[in-house]
Chains A and B, each alone.
Chain A
């Protein structure tokens, strides 16, 4: 059972310190929600976890299954089982989804000798399940996709690449009600004892479909409060100010 452990993590972007000692532990089978007001640093945490080169770690550590990933490259982290569904996935012009996923899959699952045709069939099936046409297979990654299509494609990648720790950054933004339902179904389908989820959101919507067992609030660069769904319910009613007030 995989465990992601974040200890006293501090990090900055563009010379500005955003994370100031974050502690968090996510294990297989668990669903965690990370909440916090706009600009609190939630996406920053996601980017720092996957090793985005624009973000600098100033202290603390990130380990997965005891393996220290604090200074690992993004690809090493992916191979260790980390996956981030980006808040705003970037378009990669000219690189087809088919060859992109195929190359990624080969890196992450080198021992699986799945045939090209079979692999594509698997991708097509996943595309359909989130409501994307199978012709997306030959389109460039995120190129000309609407916001919602990008989010759905992030979920397709999760299903195909089979990570152990999944970070979903505002996966519900840009999705209409029906799409959100499909995406929530996929997440529930993928959720099992050997996968841990960290669901980043600044409001409640997705948490109605997927009930997290743990709810954390990130503010002022730290996880300043942890609890269960009662915490998220109260944030829904009162906003974040009550936390600081207490």
Chain B
């Protein structure tokens, strides 16, 4: 009970500070006037891809991989089973933007304008307080990476993937696009062709890192695409928590974000991936995220999807070894005029594997939140277990929520369960709370945060606070509160 007090007290203090600091939406939707020093211009074809590879001075295998991926991208049709993607303007998208030539290991070396942006977003401060290391990416390129010395000494590698391709080519080659091949889907193929930036994190056997490592992505240019590729490898018996945060300013033209995240949790390891994505409302967010989970390993996906125009995101776990497990927590906030098509996939390929999926969605005004999930139990995944829970909260009368779970069960001894709830913020509840002095906004944010409580408890407090703040901002509520 005492512990709970101090946690609540700290949370209260943090929230109060935020309230006073009058943070507004503009604080992340601002854009900088920085001109990229190099850009491939608009449009996509073979020579653009060659050019990107050329600029990066990549090994030949990577160049060939890119060209193959481009072919696959061009041959694949657009997915039509989900949200409307007709707003993506392939012709007028800028596929590669390079802000500056440096990759720094100290914030002091980062060009001022870029540093200011990250400082404004609170990144260097976070690094000092809570992180074992961090990477910052601005438009297409990583501009900063740093890893605390203790971990470096233990053989941990943490840098942007471009640097890793050059410095550790064999290691990267072992993992690159193994879990997510270019043939997986149109957007994964696109990423394969034009990928730039993203992180490479390797944790050697038996190394257990308690503090999280974070990458921060900032997309600044108008009508640009950001195509980072992240690989996290937790070698046998290791432990790692990797965190990603993303923002983009608001532009009139739509932007495209199509990342690949591959996680390899080897035998007996524990890997945790947390991402808080807060794209502005001009972004199509179409990442492919997948984990390979080996014998006795634990994978945990924790995600907050806020902002963006359309998001399609289904983090997947392939449970490949006996006793492998995955836990997937996702919060989606579908703001006015936006669509969140999110969910999870659990593929049980070995005996005694287990998956737990908790998906919470909130729809505001005409926002549309969709849960789309896949659960597959292969023959031979004996005594495997799965549980899926989807909770939706509708804020307004016109808010919408849909659930599309899909189960393929080929193993008779496997067990699974689904639960789904839909709640609405009701007039009676609001009237009751307001009669005690709370404003309508404060009352509804309390209901929203209450709805998320069981998930919030499972994420680190700094990020719970951040989510809390983002949700309030998204709901347009902060400032009118208190």
The interface of chain A, by Cβ under 8 A from chain B, is 50-54, 73-75, 77-79, 83-84, 86, 89-96, 98-100, 102-104, 106-108, 116-117, 120, 138, 140-141, 157, 161
Are A75 and B5 interface neighbours, CB within 8 A?
no
Assess the A98–B423 pair: CB atoms within 8 A: no
Q: Is the CB of B432 within 8 A of A95?
A: no
A92 touches B438 (CB 8 A): no
Residue of A nearest to B13 (CB): A116
- For this complex, 22 residue pairs linking A to B, each with C-beta atoms less than 8 Å apart, are A54-B427, A54-B431, A73-B434, A74-B431, A74-B434, A75-B435, A78-B437, A84-B435, A89-B432, A90-B429, A92-B432, A92-B450, A94-B451, A98-B8, A99-B446, A100-B436, A103-B438, A107-B442, A108-B437, A120-B5, A141-B432, A157-B436
By CB atoms of chain B within 10 A, which of A95, A100, A138 has the most?
A: A95
CB distance from B468 to the nearest CB of A (A): 12
**A50-B434 Cα distance, complex, nearest whole Å:** 9
How many angstroms between the C-alpha atoms of A100 and B447 in the bound complex? 10
Q: Determine whether B439 belongs to the interface, using a CB cutoff of 8 Å to chain A.
A: yes
A165 to chain B, nearest CB (A): 13
Q: For B453, what are the chain A residues with a Cβ–Cβ distance below 8 Å?
A: 94, 96
Contacting residues, chain B, for A140 (C-beta < 8 A) = 450
Q: Are A104 and B436 in touch, CB under 8 angstroms?
A: yes
A90 to B426, CA, bound (A): 10
**Beta-carbon contact of A92 and B9 below 8 Å:** no
- Say whether B434 contacts A78, CB under 8 Å: yes
Given contacts A90-B429, A94-B453, A95-B446, 11 further A-B contacts (CB under 8 A): A53-B430, A74-B431, A92-B429, A92-B433, A95-B450, A96-B453, A98-B8, A99-B446, A100-B446, A104-B436, A107-B436
What's the nearest-Cβ distance from chain A to residue B57, in Å? Answer: 54
- What 0/1 readout, one digit per residue, does chain B (1-37) give for beta carbons within 8 Å of chain A? 0001100110010000000000000000000000000
The 5 closest A-B pairs by CB, nearest first: A94-B450, A107-B437, A74-B434, A78-B437, A104-B436
Contact call B432/A86, Cβ cutoff below 8 A: yes
Query: Is the C-beta of B428 less than 8 angstroms from some C-beta in chain A?
Result: yes
Among B8, B423, B440, chain A packs the most CB atoms within 10 A around the CB of: B8
A91 neighbours in B (Cβ, 8 Å)? 429
Closest Cβ–Cβ distance, residue B245 to chain A (whole Å): 26
For residue A141, which residues in chain B have a CB less than 8 angstroms away from its CB?
A: 432
B442 / chain A contacts, CB cutoff of 8 Å = 103, 107
**Which residue of chain A has the shortest Cβ distance to B436 in the bound complex?**
A104
Determine the residue in chain A with the shortest Cβ distance to B16.
A106
**With A116-B5, A116-B12, A117-B5 in contact, is A96–B432 under 8 Å at CB?**
no
Chain A's nearest CB lies how many Å from the CB of B361? Answer: 15
**Is the beta-carbon distance between A78 and B5 smaller than 8 angstroms?**
no
Chain A residues closer than 8 Å to B451, beta-carbon distance = 93-94
- A96-B450 contact in complex given A86-B432, A117-B5, C-beta closer than 8 Å: yes
**Chain A nearest CB, measured from B457 CB (Å):** 12
- Note all chain A residues with C-beta closer than 8 A to B449: 94
Which of B428, B429, B438, B446 has a CB less than 8 Å from the CB of A75?
Answer: B438
CA of A92 to CA of B9, assembled, Å: 22
Q: What's the least CB distance linking B456 to chain A, in Å?
A: 11
Contact A95 B447 (CB under 8 A): yes
A117 near B431: Cβ-Cβ < 8 Å = no
Take A94-B451, A96-B450, A116-B9 as given contacts and tell me if A50 and B435 are in contact as well, using a CB distance cutoff of 8 Å: yes
Chain B contacts to A: CB under 8 angstroms: 4-5, 8-9, 12, 423, 426-440, 442, 446-447, 449-451, 453, 482
Q: Complex: how many Å from CA A94 to CA B430? A: 13
In Å, the complex CA distance between A49 and B101 comes to 67
Nearest chain-A residue to B421 (Cβ)? Answer: A93
A84, A91, A104, A138 — most chain B CB neighbours (10 Å)? A104
User: If A53-B427, A140-B450 touch, does A75 touch B8 (CB 8 Å cutoff)?
Assistant: no
B435 contacts A117, C-beta separation under 8 Å: no
**A120–B8 CA distance with the chains assembled, in angstroms:** 11
Quote the shortest CB–CB distance from A145 to chain B (angstroms).
13
For the complex formed, measure the closest distance between the CB of A115 and the CB atoms of chain B, giving whole angstroms.
8
Q: Of all chain A residues, which has the CB nearest B4?
A: A138
- Of all chain B residues, the one with the shortest Cβ separation from A138 is B4
Give the docked Cα–Cα distance between A107 and B433 (Å): 12
With a 10 A CB-CB cut-off, give which of B5, B428, B437 has the most chain A CB atoms: B437
Which residue on B lies nearest to A157, using beta carbons? B436
Residue of A nearest to B428 (CB): A90
Which chain B residues border A78 with CB–CB below 8 Å?
Answer: 434-437
Q: Are A104 and B437 in contact (CB under 8 A)?
A: yes
A172 to B281, CA, bound (A): 52
Question: What residues of B have a CB within 8 angstroms of the CB of A52 in the complex?
Answer: 431, 435
Please give, as numbers and ranges, the residues of chain B lying within 8 Å of A103 by CB-CB distance.
Answer: 438, 442, 446
Residue of B nearest to A101 (CB): B436
Instruction: List residues of chain A with CB within 8 A of the CB of B4.
Output: 138
Taking the closest CB of chain B, its distance from the CB of A235, in whole angstroms, is 29
Complex CA distance for A157 and B432, rounded to whole angstroms: 12
Determine whether the beta carbon of B438 is less than 8 Å from that of A53.
no
Question: What residues of B have a CB within 8 angstroms of the CB of A54 in the complex?
Answer: 427, 431
Bound Cα distance A181, B453 (Å): 37
Which residues in B have their C-beta under 8 angstroms from that of A79? Answer: 437
B450 and A104 contact, CB distance less than 8 A: no
Q: Which residues of A contact B423 (CB under 8 A)?
A: 93
* Residue on B nearest A79 in the bound complex, by CB: B437
Q: A89-B432, A116-B8 known; A94 and B447 CB under 8 Å?
A: yes
List the A side residues contacting B482 at CB < 8 Å.
106
Q: Looking at the complex, which one of A75, A92, A95 makes contact with B437 (CB distance below 8 Å)?
A: A75
Shortest beta-carbon distance from A79 to chain B in Å: 6
In the bound complex, CA of A116 to CA of B152 (Å): 42
Residue in chain B with minimal CB distance to A50: B435
Residues A53 and B5 in contact, CB atoms below 8 Å apart: no
Q: Chain A residues near B436 (CB, 8 Å)?
A: 78, 100, 104, 107-108, 157, 161
| Shortest distance from the beta carbon of A218 to any chain B beta carbon, whole Å | 21
- Chain B nearest CB: distance from A15 CB in Å? 16
Chain A residue contacts of B437, Cβ below 8 A: 75, 78-79, 104, 107-108, 161
Q: Distance (Å) between the CB of B10 and the closest chain A CB?
A: 10
Per the bound structure, the CA–CA distance linking A138 and B8 in Å amounts to: 12
Which residues of the other chain, A, contact B432 by a CB distance below 8 angstroms? 86, 89-90, 92, 141
Question: Which chain A positions have C-beta within 8 A of B12?
Answer: 102, 116
* Smallest Cβ-Cβ distance to B9: which chain A residue: A116
**How far does the Cβ of A200 sit from chain B's closest Cβ, in whole Å?**
15
Q: How far is the CA of A50 from the CA of B430 in the complex (A)?
A: 13
